[in-house]
Structure 1
C-alpha cells in the first residue's frame, strides 16, 4: 500500500501562526464490489460522504455531494449557508442523474471546516447521517457528531445500551441523508481551535472495524496524519473490511517559528 500524502496549510489565529496538516484515504474494502464512499480534503473543508442505494446510486450520491462542496472551496465561499445551498443543488443532481433509480439513494455527509473571521477562527463540524467526526484533545477522544440513526434514537431513549447497538438489526438504518428528497440541514457543532487537536472524520466502514479505543491507539502511535491514516486503514482491512473504508485526519500544530506554507 502506497504511503498516504500529508498536506499542510498555515493560518493565523489571534496573531498566532498555526499549521494545519491532513491526510485522507478511501478503500473499497474486502466485501463490496464498488466504493460508494467519497471524500474531499482541502483547506478549509474536510468531508466524508458514504453513499447508499442500488446499482450505482450510492456512488452517484456521494460524488455529487462532494463535487458541489468542492466548488465552494474553489469559489472561496465555504460557510454554513453556502454549504446548505450546495447540498440543495446536490439533491437535484442526484434526483436528475439517469442512473439514480433507487428511491433509497442518498449519502451521509460529515466533516469539519475552519470558519475564519478576521483574527478569530473556529472549527465547525457538520453532520447528516451516521458517518462521524472524532476529536482527540488532551489525549481524550470524543465523538463530536451525533449519529442520525435508528439505534442512536434507541440509545437516547434509554431502550438499548451503546454495547447492544453494535449488533442491533437496525444498526445500518439512518434517519437523515442527502438524497433524492427534500434536504434536511446538517447539524452543526462549534469547536474552538487549539494546538494539538486532531480530528478523525470517517465513514462507518472504519467504526465497524475499529473501536474508539482503537482509533485513539493509532493516533497515539503515529504523530502525523499520513502514517496514522495508513495504520487505521490497514487495521480496518485486517479486521474484516466489511464495508468501504474512508477517513481523513486533520491536526493543528504551532508553526510560529516556521515559514508559512500551503501545499497544493
Structure 2
C-alpha cells in the first residue's frame, strides 16, 4: 500500500473534546487535562487529596504556555516537563506520601515541512491512535505489570487482574524516576488521538475503546461516552478522556482557529450522577 503523502502543519485542523469525573469510589478528582491546540494531555495526580490535585494542575499550568500556536518544538515540550518537575518537587503533601502525577499526551510539531504528532508519556496514563479501523496504543506504561509483560512473566489476561497493576515505575514527582518517553508519528488525514488516565483504560477494554471511538464521530461525544462507559464498569478511579481529531484544510483561514471545545481543567462532565 502506498503511504499517504506528507502533511504540512498549515493544512491540519484539530477538533477536540474532553471529559473527566471523580468516579464512584474516590472522594476527589486528582486528574487534570489540557486540550488546547497544539497540546493535548492527561495528568493523573497521586499523593492524596490536594497533593495529587495540585501536582496534576501544575502539569496543565506548565504546558499551557505552549498553546495558541500552530506547532511547538520538542525542546519546548521537554522544558514544560522540567518546569512541572521543579514545581511539583517543591510541594509538601503534609504526609508520608509525596505529590506526583503521570503525564501522557500529544503535541503537534513540524519537521522539514511535515506535521507530526509528538507523543509523550510518563507513568501509566495512555495515548492511543485510531486511523481507519486500527487502534494502536502508542505509549508504553511505566508500570510493574508492563515490565512483567515485557519479560514474559505474565500474559495480558493475568495483567488485567495482577495485584500490582496500579504500581508505576516512573512519575513526575512522588520520588519517582523522571524520564518521559517520546515518539514521533506523522499526522494523517482522519487520525483520532485518544488520551486517558488509567481510570478509563483500567475499566474499559481495548475492543470497546475502539468501538466507541469509531462509532462516536464527534470528539466531545466520544470523550463523554468513554468516561460514562468506565463508570458503568465500576468507576473505581478518577476517569479522564481527551479525544483529538485531525482533518485537512485547503485554506489557511480554516486553520487559523482550531475548534478545541474544552480548553483545560478538571471540571466534571455533564449528565453523569455523582
Does 2:173 align with 1:171? no
Match of 2:265 in 1: none
From 2, 20, 23, give the equivalent of 1:26.
20
Shift of 1:145: 0.5
1:136 partner SS:
strand
Does 2:196 align with 1:209? no
Does 2:8 align with 1:17? no
Match of 2:224 in 1: 230
Match of 1:37 in 2: 31
C-alpha RMSD of matched pairs (Å): 2.4
CA distance in 2, matches of 1:100, 1:188: 33
Match of 1:5 in 2: none
Match of 1:140 in 2: 134
Match of 2:85 in 1: 91
Shift of 1:181: 4.2
From 149, 152, 155, give the equivalent of 1:158.
152
Match of 1:245 in 2: 239
RCO higher in structure (CA 8 A, sep ≥6): 2
In structure 2, do the counterparts of structure 1 residues 238 and 83 end up closer, same or farther at CA, with 3 Å as the change threshold? same
2:235 partner SS:
coil
Contact 2:45/2:102 (8 A) holds in 1: yes
CA distance in 2, matches of 1:95, 1:74: 28
Between the two proteins, the alignment pairs up a number of residues equal to 253
In structure 2, do the counterparts of structure 1 residues 31 and 182 end up closer, same or farther at CA, with 3 Å as the change threshold? closer
Does 2:102 align with 1:108? yes
| Structure 1 residues not aligned, in runs of 5+ | 1-11
In structure 2, do the counterparts of structure 1 residues 222 and 241 end up closer, same or farther at CA, with 3 Å as the change threshold? same
TM-score, length-scaled by structure 1? 0.88
CA distance in 1, matches of 2:147, 2:249: 42
Instruction: Provide, for residues 155-204 of structure 1, a one-character-per-residue CA deviation record: whole Å limited to 9, x for no partner.
Output: 00000001101110100000000015476231011101100111110000
Shift of 1:76: 8.3
Contact 1:91/1:180 (8 A) holds in 2: no
Contact 1:56/1:100 (8 A) holds in 2: no
Shift of 1:258: 9.5
| Structure 2 residues not aligned, in runs of 5+ | 1-5, 261-274
